[in-house]
Amino acid sequence: MSGGAPVAISLPPDLETPCLVIDLDVVEANAARMAAAMAARGIALRPHAKTHKSVRLAQLQLAAGAIGVTVGTLGEAEVMAAGGIEDVFIAYPLWAAGPRAERLRALLGRPGLRLSVGVDSADGALQLARAAGPQSSLRVLVEVDPGNGRTGVAPARAAEVATAAQAAGLDVEGAFTHGGHAYAGLERVGAAAADEIAALSVAADALRAVGIEPRVLSAGSSPTARAAAAAPVTEMRPGTYLLGDRQQVALGASPPEGVALAVAATVVSTAVDGQVVIDAGAKSLTKDLPAYLAGYGWLPAYPAGTIERVSDYHGVVAFPAGTPRPALGEVVAVVPNHACPVIDLYDSFVATRSGMAVGRWPVDARGRSG
């Protein structure tokens, strides 16, 4: 799967830079490949929509075989539900107090929507139950930590949260993990996937020991998606696989030709020797920089260049002497390091096929971080 640098998607002409460009042909191929991989293993696919925040891309994933979508915030859930998506899992330990409780209750009242929510504490379960109201039987999944060290209880303690949730009137569907520690580097991906399987096995046993039979054991990250797709896991929640990015290629999770997105940028200055400056900076590319990548993005057409610095509206691309570099005024494609926070900077993207623009699609849930 791995090897090599990302391959550029073709940019259509007459772009107003900086802008986001997404190749729907590549997207469809990515959607089909992941769906086939999960189908072959008998695992349900519930892609994480925080990557693209687009109702239409979520619908494309459903059409390719996904059973529903995953989101990270109540705001994303509201946007997806309003867009007609009928099965949404908020894979986050939602703290449902204050105005957020009212929003959750409103969403639960939406006809035809099947909603489930993450929980990793007894207090959080109580808040969810209060917010949902006594008749709701809100579905929850207990988050367990596979070694990522972020959220989620230790797998053996899943029953504590589950019994508290059940006592509060919630419907405990099962447990979920996020193998985010895979992002530490390619050499960590296999172990992180194994950690997810092990954590969900322990959690499932813990739930059964208190009389709760888990219906869903959900794992997920794009790097671990294939390796973690094994019993007792029943569901997978990869996100970035749909669009790819420089990080996914480096982690072996996307083939070099699986990168479906680019930020188009114009060279605006060549005044300082040894570099060109593009009009995509921190507000267009973010400062996301994993330790195993060099520079704030990748220029497939000019592989000698390194985006060494970004300020708000400037990207400084350094070139060794004598290497090919773009001319002043030239529009270049930049593959971002990490798709998710980059997409959240744009209200819309240019959808393309074979290098031609076919539409402008909204990033429906842009900025819906809560």
Binding site for its own copies (CB under 8 A): 14-19, 50, 72-73, 92-95, 97-100, 120-121, 123-124, 127, 143, 145, 149-153, 180, 266-272, 275, 277, 279-284, 286-289, 309, 311-314, 316, 328-329, 340-341, 344-347, 366-367, 369-370
Minimum gap (Å) between residue 4 Cβ and its own copies: 26
The helix (H) or strand (E) run that includes residue 143 is strand 139-143
Minimum gap (Å) between residue 191 Cβ and its own copies: 18
Q: Which residue's CB is nearer to its own copies, number 43 or number 352? A: 352
Residue type, 228: A
Q: Which residue's CB is nearer to its own copies, number 64 or number 77? A: 77
Q: Which residue's CB is nearer to its own copies, number 271 or number 321? A: 271
Task: Tell me the H-state helices in the chain.
Answer: 24-41, 55-63, 74-82, 99-108, 122-132, 158-167, 186-209, 246-250, 282-285, 339-343
Q: Which residue's CB is nearer to its own copies, number 37 or number 122? A: 122
Q: Which residue's CB is nearer to its own copies, number 84 or number 320? A: 320
User: Do 361 and 54 contact (CB within 8 A), yes or no?
Assistant: yes
What is the DSSP annotation of 17-75? SSEEEEEHHHHHHHHHHHHHHHHHHT-EE--BTTTT--HHHHHHHHHTT---EEESSHH
User: Do 333 and 363 contact (CB within 8 A), yes or no?
Assistant: no
Q: Which residue's CB is nearer to its own copies, number 43 or number 364? A: 364
Minimum gap (Å) between residue 315 Cβ and its own copies: 10
Minimum gap (Å) between residue 148 Cβ and its own copies: 9
Minimum gap (Å) between residue 85 Cβ and its own copies: 19
Helix then strand then coil, in percent of the chain rounded to 5, is 30, 25, 45
Tokens representing residue 139 in the block: 């579905």
Minimum gap (Å) between residue 123 Cβ and its own copies: 5
User: Do 242 and 28 contact (CB within 8 A), yes or no?
Assistant: no
- Residue 147's closest CA among 199, 187, 216? 199
Q: What distances in angstroms separate CA 131 from CA 56, 71, 84, 128, 266, one per listed residue?
A: 30, 19, 23, 5, 49
Q: Which residue's CB is nearer to its own copies, number 53 or number 139? A: 53
Minimum gap (Å) between residue 189 Cβ and its own copies: 17
Minimum gap (Å) between residue 143 Cβ and its own copies: 8
Neighbours of 49 (CB within 10 A): 30
- Nearby residues of 95 by Cβ (< 8 Å), 6 or more positions away: 124, 127
Q: Which residue's CB is nearer to its own copies, number 87 or number 288? A: 288
